[in-house]
Amino acid sequence: MRDVAFKSIRILIGVVLLGLFAGGLQADPPSGYYEDARGKSGAALREALHAIIRDHEVLPYTRSGNDDWLDGEDRDVWEALLYTDSACPDYRPECGLVQLLYLDDFRHLDMAYRGGRGPDKWSREHIWPKSRGFPRQSQDGYTDLHHLRPADRSLNGAHRNYGYDDGGERVMDRLSDGSEVATTARLDRDRASFEPPDRAKGQVARMLFYMAVRYEGDGDMPDLELVNRTELTDEPRIGRLCTLLDWHNQYGPTDFERRRNDRVHAIQGNRNPFIDEPGWANLIWGQRCEA
């Protein structure tokens, strides 16, 4: 009975927030949302944050239907991303554009990869590669919006399931006419690492911090861990932690990122605490990266 009541309250909050965000407004975390985490650090802070964000509403990955999130019908990850990553701050279905993560570019909803193959399509990028711990769509991490982003198909493919670090060769973006153009993303195949463009580095780091705290081995999800190396593995770990912490500190949360956090909260019922309180990342992992 308590779970039903809690779910009803969360849905009510989501409806209110959706109305606010459709009008272009941003909302702060609910009063007291992080109360149990205040004043803590290290493992105690991590445990407190996990307890706060561990439950969320799970969407299906793909479902047939239209592309209007606010109509409340046939909602899946595709529709959710059209809302959370809309290029229009005051989300309007007729806008039809999503902001890509790795490129300073927009793509129309009709250019989603589900609409057919093509180098200029956008696809759903798992920032924490799904092969590293949750390969099945039934697992909560597979459809968690806090680490799913619209990405250019070429760059999504280049990333593969590599970890993250600085260095490597420029990644080429293949255009619809068959030509290629160099991006600012880099790939090091020998070290199995991917360096996103500067505009995405802080966002990538904070999404990975969220995943490592959200998933601690509950239910059908493994314990996701950040490590200080990059490697090709199917184990539920990814790196390089200290590089991610540097990116996080150098590239702080943007207005787009904060608005997106609000919108995902309205849909899933949980937040990314490292967008709301950037200093918490250093309180949890900082000692592991001190010289």
Average pLDDT of 170-184?
Answer: 81
Q: Phi, psi (5° rounding) for residue 43?
A: -65, -35
Domain that holds residue 271: 2-289
Whether the pLDDT of residue 1 is over 50: the answer is no
159 vs 145: CA distance, rounded Å: 19
Question: What are the tokens at 41?
Answer: 């650090």
Count of alpha carbons within 13 Å of 182, Cβ hemisphere only?
6
Q: How confident is the model at residue 91 (pLDDT cuts 50, 70, 90)?
A: confident
Beta strands 122-126 and 148-152, pairing class: antiparallel
Chain-centre distance for alpha carbon 8: 25
pLDDT tier at 122 (50, 70, 90 boundaries)? confident
Higher pLDDT, 264 or 66: 264
pLDDT: is 180 or 47 the higher one? 47
The answer to whether 136 and 142 are in contact (CB under 8 A) is yes
Tally of CB atoms within 10 A around 35: 10
Q: Report residue 154's pLDDT band, with 50, 70 and 90 as the boundaries.
A: confident
Q: What is the pLDDT of residue 73?
A: 58
Count of the separate structural domains present in the chain: 1
